Amino acid sequence: MSTSLDLRNFIRDIPDFPKPGILFKDITPLLSNPIVFQNVIDRLALEFSDRGIDTIAAAEARGFLFGTPLALALNLAFVPIRKPGKLPYKTIAQEYQLEYGTDRLEMHQDAIGPGRRVLLLDDVLATGGTIRACRKLVAQTGAEVVACAFVVELGFLGGRQTLEPTEVFSVVIYP
Ligand code: AMP
């Protein structure tokens, strides 16, 4: 597996999306290249293959794009974390703060439990609000969050610091 492949060549900057002032990191060029996509999954798998993790949990929608292939690569359970009203069985929920107002994430109540060792995964770490809500959701079940992993980290937004003391791993960091 090559770690010299520069993934930044496959991540496109879209200014002012979805609103003015946001520089959106578009990962669709990466997804459209199977060698590069596989390389990302391989790098994540290498990092977390030997850590006693039994579950990958990821938030919709782009977290699923990386979470499901990683779960299969490592032969682990995959647990979806979803927006309100999407999951069919009984759920637990966690509210979190947005710039304006609040949002909510849900997980099936029987998806994870005490003793489980969970890796949280998302495509982009920005302010960290989404992944902190996921961490609280997992903590509610009594399971342990071993680490948070990302394909892209926007280092200048300081999300990593807000996740302390949880370990953070990112494949690509924009300092
Ligand atoms: P945050 O909760 O601020 O860490 O934001 C993380 C979530 O929003 C992730 O699920 C990302 O997919 C998305 N996101 C936030 N900022 C960006 C950005 N600049 N480019 C792409 N996705 C972003």
Domain range annotation of the chain: 52-174
pLDDT tens track for 65-123: 999 999 999 999 999 999 999 999 999 999 998 878 899 999 999 999 999 999 999 99
User: Is 104 noted as a catalytic residue in this protein?
Assistant: no
Which among 130, 137, 154, 160 is the best mutation to test ligand 1's pocket, defined by most ligand atoms within 8 Å of the CB?
A: 130
Backbone angles phi and psi of 111, in degrees to 5? -70, -40
Q: Are 12 and 26 in contact (CB under 8 A)?
A: yes
Cα 75 from Cα 29, distance rounded (Å):
27
The pLDDT mean for the chain works out to 96
DSSP string over 4-45: ---GGGG-EEEET-SSTT-EEEE-HHHHT-HHHHHHHHHHHH
Residue 1 has pLDDT above 80, yes or no: no
Q: Backbone dihedral region of 21: left (phi > 0), alpha (psi from -120 to 50 degrees) or beta?
A: left
Supply the pTM of this predicted model.
0.97
- The CB density around residue 29, as the number of other CB atoms within 10 Å, is 13
Q: What is the mean pLDDT of residues 36-44?
A: 98
Residues 6+ apart with CB under 8 A from 8: 172, 174
Residue 106 beta carbon below 6 angstroms from any ligand 1 atom: no
> Hey, which CATH number is domain 52-174, 3.40.50.2020, 1.10.760.10, 3.90.850.10, 3.90.226.10?
3.40.50.2020
